[in-house]
Structure 1
Amino acid sequence: MDERTRVQVIAADPAVRVGVDDMARACPELTVVVDRPDVVLMVTDGVGDAVLLLLRSLSRAGRRVLLVAETLRESDVVEAVEAGAGGLLRRSEVCPDRLGPAVRATADGSFTVPSGLLGDPLTRVADRAPEGPAARQLTKRERAVLLMLADGYETQEIARSLAYSVRTVTGIVHTITHRWQVRNRAHAVACALREGLI
């Protein structure tokens, strides 16, 4: 990898923050910083109102956030993504081998979520889908790209797998996010899953 991803760790518990800082420093693809990060790594006990408020604030400031929570329920996925999380991990799953790729995926705009939390919970909360002026429909190309994003693939991997250029994949994602009036790739994936489109 040419460049290390700049990550800032925030946690309410100073001991947890220090521990995650040390783990991030053990990842050769990451550099721990205190300002201007590529990704904010937010470590929490659960996904409550205060966490969602901070996620919204960071998202409005243009920050990509990987949320690491001790307790992560199915319903938390939708709330966290709608608040601006670019990915989610359970704290018990965090180790240097998983942390580095998850941070890189979040920096690249890919979506990371624990495998057991991705399917049904998003489709069960269809009533929360924001209404947009355009019908939420997908072409075959858009569906293929969103499926790969949901599986955690990066733009370059999607382009290689589908035999598209990186620019084409980026354009497809931009078209979807603009047409659906969603904030980012993760939000587009959540909406597509919620509405049963992928």
Structure 2
Amino acid sequence: MKTTRTYVMRERAERAERTRERVLTATVALGYSRPLAQLTLQAVADRAGVSVQTVLRQFGTRDELIAAAIEHEQGQVRDDRVADPDDLAASLRSLLVEYERLGDGMIRILGQEEWEPAAAAITGPGRALHRSWVMRAFAPAIAAAADAAAATDLLVAATDLYVWKLFRRDRGLGRDATAARIRALVDAVLASLPSGPGAPEASGPSPS
């Protein structure tokens, strides 16, 4: 009897976790595809295939749902982004795969941050996440630079989402051409960084 009860409880917990994941996935997808003001509990529930009451039972309030979705998505982005200082090509490739998947939605959210608190709660940590990625992916070059903060700033700018948008959307270039231009910007920044006194010489990017 105890074994049966344990199994039932475990099954309920797993079902609740699957529902939670579905609701979070629905929230993230809607957040990328429409103004955040339209991110209602009913819209989330409809997309996730559950009731509004289920959403409330899982997360409490709309604000708590959005906060959980932000944390969930940022964790996913951190896991997906390669930041390998020994393989610049792989690091940039993973960044551009992310931009292809999420870039348009991220641009849409950035356009709302001045008046939409939920957007600002996404974009601030997003910028910090990108800067952290740059610091890990380009660690040797930054460590060797005379001004580490300036080197980081330049590499953040060269790999910024709006640079991808400029080439990919505004210019209408294909993926390969966009990747080549961003790589050229990165290479130019790396080549221009003055080394600090006594710093180990930064190795240039390996051809890809």
TM-score normalised by the chain length of structure 2: 0.26
More helix by share: 2
TM-score normalised by the chain length of structure 1: 0.27
More strand by share: 1
